[in-house]
Amino acid sequence: MRDRSQLEFIKRLAYYLDSAIPIPGTKMRIGLDPIIGLIPGVGDAVTSLISTYIVLTAMQLKVSRWTLVRMVFNIVIESVVGIIPIVGDFFDAYWKSNERNRILLEKNMANPAAKSADMLFIIFTVLVLIAILIGTGWAAIALVQWIVSQF
């Protein structure tokens, strides 16, 4: 029962971050992720932290190694491209890492034969996520400092 409520929360969170807002006159939708990402220096760090929560929940739900690797990859791609001003925000709106990770989580949960990741792999994944968060925050701050120094 707890797994079901966690999965439902992740569904709602991914929806609000990636797809909650329809763009009038198109079939496209965006979420709060690219909007929060517009905040210089902290926006992308905040959204990376929220995306990390989804991966940590997936770990609690005992998803497979391969699923964790793919989820972290989605966050890495969005975090790295996301620090580029404007371009990164458009990419965030397109890439939708949280929706991608929600889908990966649902597929893994639907497959009872999927073997869960071992503790050593989970610790390694957490360390990688921490490095991503620190790296994204550092890069965002360095970029803002460089932009400010140009004026």
Q: What does the H/E/C string look like for 117-147? A: CCHHHHHHHHHHHHHHHHHHHHHHHHHHHHH
Q: Using CA atoms, how far apart are residues 28 and 16, in angstroms rounded to an integer?
A: 14
CA 58 to chain centre: 12
How confident is the model at residue 114, as a pLDDT?
A: 75
Would you state the pLDDT for residue 124?
A: 85
d(CA 56, CA 60): 6
Question: What per-residue confidence (pLDDT) applies to 1?
Answer: 55
**Threshold 0.85, pTM exceeds:** no
Report how far residue 130's alpha carbon sits from residue 76's, in angstroms, rounded to the nearest whole number. Answer: 11
Walking along the chain (151 residues) 10 residues at a time, the average pLDDT comes out as: 85 97 95 89 83 92 91 90 84 94 94 78 84 81 84 87
> Which pLDDT belongs to residue 3?
83
